Chain A
Amino acid sequence: MLKLIINDKNITAEEGETILQAALKNNIYIPNLCYDKRLRPYGGCRLCVVEVEGQARLFAACSSPAQDGMNIKTDTPKLRKYRQTVLELLLIHHPLDCPVCDKAGECDLQDLAYEYGKPDSRFIRHRKASPPDVRGPLIELTANRCILCGKCVRICRDHQGRGALGLIGRGFPTVVQPAFGEILECDYCGQCVDICPTGAILSKTFKFKARSWFLEEKETTCPFCGCGCTLTLGLREGNILRSRGKEGIGVSDGNLCGRGRFGIDYINSEHRLKNPLIRENETFREVTWEEALSHISSNLKETINTNGAASVGAIGSQRCTNEDNYVLQKFMRNTIGSGSIDSSAALGYAKVQKAWNMAFGRNSHPIDLQSPYGKEILFIVESDISVTHPIFGLNILEASRGGAQLIVADSRETKLTRHSSTWLPIEDGTGVALMNGMMKVLIDKDLIKKDSAAGLKGFAELQAMLEEYTPAKVSQITGISEEDITAAAVALGTAKSRMIALSVSATENTKGMDIALAAANLTILLGEDPSTLQIPAEYSNTYGLYHSGVRPLKPEDKGIMEILYGDQTAFSALYIMGEDPVTTFPDSSKILKRLKSLDFLVVQDIFMTETAKLANVVLPASSWGEKDGTFTNAEGKVQKVFKVVDPAGDSKPDWMIIKNLALTMEKELGVRSLEDIQAEMKESQPTVTDEETTLTFNPAKYVRGEEPSQEFPFQLVIRDVLQHSGVTSTSSKSLDLVISEALLEINEEDAKKQGVKDNSHVKVTSQHGSIFLKAKVSEEVPQGTVFVPSHFPYAKINTLTHLASNGESPISVVKIEATLGK
């Protein structure tokens, strides 16, 4: 601990902290324009200069380390004069267009000019010749307002790992631009918008919407992925006008991805459901809530009477709040009397949960977003975490910049592979084989924690199973050389600390639970505890959904396999809340058939989804921003969401609809308010923090999915797209500007062979059906594999996929045909 004096105030600082950091921590403001705690000190703006007693030269507070005994003055007449000069120089070419600049009112440059500036300048007419502004969707850069602090360039390159912007030129004529002044093509995370200290970089969606001083800011939790970032929403007259990150708040600590920053406008979509609808023949009729609920009530009652309560099933939602999900399952179990409730998590996260339970004997598995830090080695298996969990991805990148070795096994080039120390470009879906091979190497080289591992249940079986996973064989399966497999294993084995991470998506293509088991085996073999393995829950409330009881709990409860894919028509009625199985679940033709065969289908959602179109009754739910409640992020952290705007139309929070429905069905749930629900949930859910750990090895064999054949020569892999999360984001007008349709990514060589041109349409056919997509020729994807996202309802990607009887969704093989014309 260092002791120093700033402005006659005694303060303490940590070793390694800069003067500026120490000052800010003690609420002493030192002017700065190029500092951001996420970035390496830059020392460019020179506003943070301070005087240190006994030193003739000035110290730049942002880059000078605090030293014991320093006596610092941050605001003396001399410093004021220097700052005045620096600002005078900056303002020579910064246009004084504050009246039409959205930044005004929260602009660092404006504030400093106000504080230090003099009304007149000694220098005249030395304005920079107007360089061209930067064009691109969502983000706009007005070059003349730029003061070249370089924050945007640095956050994009050094923090986001993207490098879409560069300082182009040298000296005074330098400008910030994408390469060659072309259209900005980037992650569209918008971090540059938040970090810009002037109005140079602005969000286009917010442009000319409101003066900052009229904005009311409210914090809430992001509705997209499992990171659970805190959004600071800017509101005016009941509308969300923007979303930004704020340093020091929430798990994201100021960081946001493009979804959280731009994607939340989906709640303003014109496709929002505003009134309850009842199907009449082929059309829907708008009805009152009373009519809708009594219609549902009588139909459900009739189904129960005719086919029994067990013939009613329900699907909950990873995007609805804990309260919504809790009430839904309570409604099913109490009011209907059926435990057959499940969710899409069954196809992903639930499998991880199960594997977790088998390997570690624990029921809950929170991750830690901070886990990459301080680790010597980070091993990522078949997971594009920067896309699925952007903020977790940022931490991985930052840890690797901090010296951690990053080994990424992935079939295609991703941001993580680009920043990795080792990229193992494996055949898609062979992660289990790779890890088995690595385990064999570890055992053979005696790099495992023998004393702890050998005594564990399943060790002998594991060892026996691994016999066949020689580097030679694994090399054949994965396409990675024996040396690389061995080297990766040895690196992992000899490291002092490690993190192994995968995303839930890795479990969705064939590997299912096995990849989680393999990763768990590897973890245990290395003598690590469960926290080494990080598999984050997918969506904003996947974790909470699982723990609020939306899954089969008793043996007689049916799960998603029976509800949607089962061959016997055991179900006559379904209640679907906030889910669109037709679009997002594999093998959509099967699902369509099932849903059409039902006697009664209720869909409660915020949009008229593909699934809702098949419903007998469609109920308009309030979106995430229109209701109070809680989400539980992947870390198991329960975070509040708030009603920040009025509900669309006559929509209501999901929990309230169900509560009302129970009321209509004359079987009250016993909860009248959110507080009631929360209190009850607290009581019913035991705290899971101090669970015992029981380690077990569960040998997981590599199972090949469908083999490409002459007829279907390509593997089809479903991947997430950075700008989207599930289907809700596809209703965001903003994100639509970046990516508005499902693109089939295909390798250059393959494209050439198939006669496919970039941006042309192709027909994709599997054994299950065919669809038309636009092709994107990419150098990032390997030969023999094509990639598609499942987010876009119109693309009907799941026409091509199927689900195996064990609940795994094997890799599909497809053929690609170029279509004539465009």
Chain B
Amino acid sequence: MEKYRANLLMCAGTGCVASGTPKVRAAIEEELIKKGLENEIKIVLTGCNGFCAEGPVMLVYPEEIFYQKLTVAEVPKLVEEHFLKGRPYEKLMFKDIEKRHAIPLMNDIPFFKHQVLRVLRNKGLIDPDSIDEYIARDGYMAAAKALTEMSPEDIIKAIKDAGVRGRGGAGFPTGLKWEFASKSVADQKYMLCNGDEGDPGAFMDRSVMEADPHSVIEGMIIGAKAIGSSKGVIYVRAEYPLAVQRLQNAIDDCRERGLLGNDILGSGFSFDLEIYLGAGAFVCGEETALMRSIEGQRGMPRPRPPFPAHKGLWDKPSVLNNVETLAQIAPTILNGPEWYRQLGTEKSAGSKVFALTGDIRNVGLVEVPMGTPLKTIIYDIGGGMKNKKKKFKSVQMGGPSGGCIPEELIDIPVTYEDVVKTGAIMGSGGMVVMDEDTCMVSTAKFFLEFTADESCGKCTPCRVGTRVMLDMLTDITEGRGREGDIETLQDLSNDIIATSLCGLGQTAPNPILSTIRYFKDEYEAHIHQKWCKTGICSDLCSFEISEDVCTGCGACARACPQGAIVGEKKKPHSIIQDLCIQCRSCYDRCAFQSIKIGPAKEKDKTAVAVKDQEE
């Protein structure tokens, strides 16, 4: 084997690839050859590093220097400085905004510093297409242990003792799920993996499948042994081509090495699995719907009971685990339940991966111990608001099934129990941070649009109910809200939650209920005063310039597409209301926060029409 003195671990996750990894990689390769370093320095493409917003990112070993926002133009300089002369190249390092200095080491960057990597243990550290590199990191040792030294009961006990809970949403104890299926008697059982990550704003499963596909496969082998299954299916969204490719490659390698197939590792246990591509239906994240989809039917959920542990795929006992859950299995088996419980709380043990997105500075994937305060995640890891001038308003957790947690609850520790109390849910771990410019009614409407669109249509409350609620929210955001709408929405929400067939319908009203709970004033303002104070609902606002703040810089006037802003240079400007179309451009543009948003005003609509015609 060739020896390299340095490894460049370039992130080849979807995010970084989209930001230019392939081009940068080619440039580095070329430059290394130019400098004669190609035999000393090895480039490894890894899965998602997690710090997606800073991509393309690269980690240089052995020094552990973290480079971000790489560009082709900077490559010659980088290679010359760092790899030839050994002077880490400060220009491409992460900068701490407050202190204005570069942070060379990855683990000194706050985004990484507060994380503990279990699920993401191999992220950015191994080549996901190399089974050897996975094995080097203790890969398949847990499977070896489970297959040769442990009985199904031992495995189930270990997982139960560890307190592993499903990371897909509801947090059902994984060991218990396995136990049910293990006890079912059948000629065939199925071990299934849910890679149909659907919550908008969550991408940890994609990341794991891309960065560490073997960890999922190993988890499935162990689970298969626990329940007595010889066949597995990984159901992956077709929208994740890279994940599919990496998984397929990993499966092929496993088959070739005998880690899948008959008599794995000489243990006498046989298990094989295949990938099944989802075809784009959010509801297929629901386990019974996913099974219907694998059966080639419309992905419509089935009533439970019978539970999948008794009658699942093809009416055979089946276990469906989420990607993140499965990725935790191997280290837990290898290190034991106690190790697992070192992190987290009594009821929510271990760590959890979150996808931080929205109006936050450090967008990306983070893994923290359960029980970490929300505040730590948002401010210490996430770096606070992207726009420092804007205040934090709310964080949405749990996607369309979840809710919005307001600022006053930001100190809660993130555990299944504590999050549920707020009206949100842990969900798969999407955290969408919203600043004060976010209209909460519109946010609720966004989620309802999603659920109404993704409702399979099988049960009445979800099919019609989500549509009715969406219509009501649309009315409210467009100025047709009526007295009593809030109460009707709450009432209907409760009925839908109680009567819907599956989790989609049972949770679809959550975004409405939680926004009403914490931001009722916004609903009231929308309905009664016809006022959206964020200016997002263009029918419910008007913009005005406060003369005492305006510096007359003219930026707003230049931004206005209607030419509705007038004023002399260096003197306060004003907005011609009849022309204003409430596009919010001036508000976004003003550096002095001199634009104020007020309730909708009566205006002569012909003015805009006339103006449009002139153009």
A contacts B: CB pair < 8 Å? yes
Residues of A within 8 A of B (CB): 41-47, 49, 57-58, 60, 62-65, 81-82, 85-86, 89-90, 92-93, 122-123, 126, 147-148, 150, 167, 169-174
A43–B281 CB distance below 8 A: no
In whole angstroms, what is the CA distance A169 to B456 when docked? 9
A82–B457 CB distance below 8 A: no
In whole angstroms, what is the CA distance A89 to B461 when docked? 7
A126–B499 CB distance below 8 A: no
The smallest beta-carbon distance between B572 and chain A, in angstroms, is 45
In the complex with contacts A60-B303, A89-B464, A123-B471, A46-B457 CB distance below 8 A: no
Task: Write out the residue numbers on chain A whose beta carbons fall within 8 Å of the beta carbon of B133.
Answer: none
Task: Write out the residue numbers on chain A whose beta carbons fall within 8 Å of the beta carbon of B459.
Answer: 43-46
In whole angstroms, what is the CA distance A65 to B23 when docked? 60
Of the 9-residue stretches B2-10, B14-22, B152-160, B447-455, which lies at the interface with chain A? B447-455
A171–B499 CB distance below 8 A: no
Task: Write out the residue numbers on chain B whose beta carbons fall within 8 Å of the beta carbon of A65.
Answer: 305-306
A172–B460 CB distance below 8 A: no
B453–A46 CB distance below 8 A: no
A126–B281 CB distance below 8 A: no
20 more A-B residue pairs beyond the given contacts A43-B303, A81-B495, A85-B492, with a C-beta to C-beta distance below 8 A: A42-B458, A44-B459, A57-B498, A58-B498, A58-B499, A60-B501, A63-B302, A63-B303, A65-B306, A86-B495, A89-B461, A89-B468, A148-B457, A148-B460, A148-B463, A170-B298, A171-B455, A172-B455, A172-B467, A174-B463
Task: Write out the residue numbers on chain A whose beta carbons fall within 8 Å of the beta carbon of B453.
Answer: 171
A171–B457 CB distance below 8 A: yes
B499–A169 CB distance below 8 A: no
Task: Write out the residue numbers on chain B whose beta carbons fall within 8 Å of the beta carbon of A63.
Answer: 302-305
B455–A86 CB distance below 8 A: no
Task: Write out the residue numbers on chain A whose beta carbons fall within 8 Å of the beta carbon of B465.
Answer: 89
Task: Write out the residue numbers on chain A whose beta carbons fall within 8 Å of the beta carbon of B500.
Answer: 46
In the complex with contacts A64-B305, A170-B281, A172-B455, A46-B468 CB distance below 8 A: no
B298–A41 CB distance below 8 A: no
B305–A172 CB distance below 8 A: no
- Nearest to B456 among chain A residues (CB) is A170
The smallest beta-carbon distance between A471 and chain B, in angstroms, is 30
A-B residue pairs in contact (CB < 8 Å), sample of 30: A42-B303, A42-B458, A43-B458, A43-B459, A44-B458, A44-B460, A44-B501, A45-B460, A58-B499, A60-B303, A63-B303, A64-B303, A64-B305, A65-B306, A81-B495, A82-B498, A85-B496, A123-B472, A126-B468, A126-B471, A148-B457, A148-B458, A150-B458, A167-B457, A170-B456, A171-B454, A171-B456, A171-B457, A172-B464, A172-B466
Task: Write out the residue numbers on chain B whose beta carbons fall within 8 Å of the beta carbon of A167.
Answer: 298, 457
B488 within 8 A of A: yes
Ranked nearest first, the 9 interchain pairs of A and B with the lowest CB-CB distance are A43-B303, A63-B303, A89-B464, A174-B457, A85-B495, A171-B455, A171-B457, A172-B467, A46-B499
Partner of B461, one of A57, A62, A86: A86
The smallest beta-carbon distance between B508 and chain A, in angstroms, is 11
In whole angstroms, what is the CA distance A46 to B453 when docked? 20
In whole angstroms, what is the CA distance A46 to B463 when docked? 11
In whole angstroms, what is the CA distance A58 to B461 when docked? 14
The smallest beta-carbon distance between B205 and chain A, in angstroms, is 23
In whole angstroms, what is the CA distance A424 to B167 when docked? 49
Task: Write out the residue numbers on chain A whose beta carbons fall within 8 Å of the beta carbon of B303.
Answer: 41-43, 60, 62-64
Task: Write out the residue numbers on chain A whose beta carbons fall within 8 Å of the beta carbon of B472.
Answer: 123
In whole angstroms, what is the CA distance A167 to B300 when docked? 11
A46–B460 CB distance below 8 A: yes
Most buried by B among A57, A86, A89, A92: A89
In the complex with contacts A46-B499, A126-B467, A169-B457 CB distance below 8 A: yes
Partner of A43, one of B468, B492, B496, B501: B501
The smallest beta-carbon distance between B420 and chain A, in angstroms, is 14
The smallest beta-carbon distance between A564 and chain B, in angstroms, is 54
The smallest beta-carbon distance between A298 and chain B, in angstroms, is 72
Most buried by A among B472, B488, B499: B499
The smallest beta-carbon distance between B460 and chain A, in angstroms, is 5
Residues of B within 8 A of A (CB): 281, 298, 302-306, 452-461, 463-468, 471-472, 488, 492, 495-496, 498-501
Most buried by B among A46, A64, A90: A46
The smallest beta-carbon distance between B297 and chain A, in angstroms, is 10
- Nearest to A63 among chain B residues (CB) is B303
B464–A170 CB distance below 8 A: no
Most buried by A among B453, B457, B464: B464
B499–A172 CB distance below 8 A: no
In the complex with contacts A89-B468, A123-B468, A172-B455, A49-B460 CB distance below 8 A: no
Task: Write out the residue numbers on chain B whose beta carbons fall within 8 Å of the beta carbon of A44.
Answer: 458-460, 501
In the complex with contacts A43-B302, A63-B305, A126-B468, A86-B499 CB distance below 8 A: yes
Most buried by B among A58, A86, A150: A86
Task: Write out the residue numbers on chain A whose beta carbons fall within 8 Å of the beta carbon of B466.
Answer: 171-172
Task: Write out the residue numbers on chain A whose beta carbons fall within 8 Å of the beta carbon of B455.
Answer: 170-172
- Nearest to A87 among chain B residues (CB) is B460
Partner of B501, one of A46, A93, A123, A172: A46
In whole angstroms, what is the CA distance A64 to B471 when docked? 33
B468–A170 CB distance below 8 A: no
Task: Write out the residue numbers on chain A whose beta carbons fall within 8 Å of the beta carbon of B471.
Answer: 123, 126
A85–B501 CB distance below 8 A: no
In whole angstroms, what is the CA distance A222 to B303 when docked? 37
Task: Write out the residue numbers on chain A whose beta carbons fall within 8 Å of the beta carbon of B454.
Answer: 170-171
The smallest beta-carbon distance between B353 and chain A, in angstroms, is 29
In whole angstroms, what is the CA distance A170 to B496 when docked? 18
B499–A90 CB distance below 8 A: no
Task: Write out the residue numbers on chain B whose beta carbons fall within 8 Å of the beta carbon of A147.
Answer: 460
- Nearest to A85 among chain B residues (CB) is B495
Task: Write out the residue numbers on chain B whose beta carbons fall within 8 Å of the beta carbon of A89.
Answer: 460-461, 464-465, 468
The smallest beta-carbon distance between B293 and chain A, in angstroms, is 12
The smallest beta-carbon distance between B382 and chain A, in angstroms, is 34
The smallest beta-carbon distance between A172 and chain B, in angstroms, is 4
In whole angstroms, what is the CA distance A57 to B304 when docked? 12
- Nearest to A58 among chain B residues (CB) is B498
The smallest beta-carbon distance between B279 and chain A, in angstroms, is 11
- Nearest to B302 among chain A residues (CB) is A43
The smallest beta-carbon distance between A273 and chain B, in angstroms, is 53
In whole angstroms, what is the CA distance A42 to B501 when docked? 10
Task: Write out the residue numbers on chain B whose beta carbons fall within 8 Å of the beta carbon of A46.
Answer: 459-461, 499-501
The smallest beta-carbon distance between A527 and chain B, in angstroms, is 27
In whole angstroms, what is the CA distance A179 to B266 when docked? 51
Most buried by B among A123, A147, A169: A123
Partner of A82, one of B281, B495, B501: B495
Task: Write out the residue numbers on chain B whose beta carbons fall within 8 Å of the beta carbon of A58.
Answer: 498-499
Partner of B499, one of A62, A85, A170: A85
B461–A85 CB distance below 8 A: yes
The smallest beta-carbon distance between B49 and chain A, in angstroms, is 36
In whole angstroms, what is the CA distance A391 to B460 when docked? 32
The smallest beta-carbon distance between A52 and chain B, in angstroms, is 13
In whole angstroms, what is the CA distance A147 to B461 when docked? 12
Task: Write out the residue numbers on chain A whose beta carbons fall within 8 Å of the beta carbon of B461.
Answer: 46, 85-86, 89
The smallest beta-carbon distance between B65 and chain A, in angstroms, is 49
B464–A90 CB distance below 8 A: yes
In the complex with contacts A46-B459, A46-B500, A172-B452 CB distance below 8 A: yes
In whole angstroms, what is the CA distance A46 to B458 when docked? 10
In whole angstroms, what is the CA distance A148 to B465 when docked? 14
Task: Write out the residue numbers on chain B whose beta carbons fall within 8 Å of the beta carbon of A64.
Answer: 303, 305
In whole angstroms, what is the CA distance A42 to B502 when docked? 12
The smallest beta-carbon distance between B597 and chain A, in angstroms, is 30
Most buried by A among B298, B463, B488: B463
Task: Write out the residue numbers on chain B whose beta carbons fall within 8 Å of the beta carbon of A123.
Answer: 468, 471-472
The smallest beta-carbon distance between A355 and chain B, in angstroms, is 39
The smallest beta-carbon distance between B557 and chain A, in angstroms, is 41
- Nearest to B304 among chain A residues (CB) is A63
Task: Write out the residue numbers on chain A whose beta carbons fall within 8 Å of the beta carbon of B460.
Answer: 44-47, 86, 89-90, 147-148
